[in-house]
Amino acid sequence: MHVTFRQLRLFLALAETGSVSAAARVMHVTQPTASMQLRETSSAVGVPLYEVVSRRVRLTAAGLELARTARTMLSEWQGFEQRVDALQGLTRGQLSVSVVSTAESFMPRLLGSFCERHPGIEVSLQVLNRDGVVARLREALDDLYIMSLPPAGFDLDDRVFMDNPLVVVAPLAHPLAGRARLRLADLQGERFVLRERGSGTRIAVDAHFRRQRFTPQLRMELGSNEALRASVAGQLGLSVLSRHALGERPQDHGVVVLPVQGFPIPSKWHIVRGRTRQPSPLALAFEAHLLAEAPRAAPVRA
Give the pLDDT score at 300: 54
Task: Answer whether 89-163+268-297 and 166-258 agree in fold.
Answer: yes
Judged against a pLDDT cut of 90, whether residue 205 lies above it is answered with yes
The residue-averaged pLDDT of 152-166 equals 92
Give the pLDDT score at 217: 93
pLDDT band at 90 (very low <50, low <70, confident <90, very high): low
Close Cβ partners of 198 (under 8 Å, ≥ 6 residues apart):
129, 130, 131
Beta-carbon count within 10 A of 21 CB? 12
The residue-averaged pLDDT of 17-31 equals 89
Domain boundaries, the chain: 5-65, 89-163+268-297, 166-258
Instruction: Check if the beta carbon of residue 116 is closer than 8 Å to that of residue 109.
Output: no
The residue-averaged pLDDT of 9-34 equals 89
The residue-averaged pLDDT of 34-41 equals 90
Residue in 139, 133, 166 with CA at minimum distance from that of residue 272: 133
The residue-averaged pLDDT of 139-151 equals 92
Higher pLDDT, 300 or 169: 169
Name which of 32-36, 82-86, 244-248 the model is least confident about: 82-86
Which amino acid, one-letter code, is at 155? D
Judged against a pLDDT cut of 90, whether residue 238 lies above it is answered with yes
235 sits in the region (left: phi over 0; alpha: psi -120 to 50; else beta) called left
Q: What is the CA radius of gyration of the chain?
A: 23
Give the pLDDT score at 88: 54
The CATH number assigned to the domain with range 89-163+268-297 reads: 3.40.190.10
Give the pLDDT score at 89: 56
The residue-averaged pLDDT of 83-95 equals 66
Give the pLDDT score at 302: 44
The CATH number assigned to the domain with range 5-65 reads: 1.10.10.10
Query: Which tens digit of pLDDT belongs to each residue from 268-289?
Result: 999 999 887 778 888 888 999 9
pLDDT band at 52 (very low <50, low <70, confident <90, very high): confident
CATH 3.80.10.10 given to domain 166-258: no
Q: How far apart are CA 21 and CA 14, in angstroms?
A: 9
Give the pLDDT score at 83: 67
The residue-averaged pLDDT of 158-163 equals 93
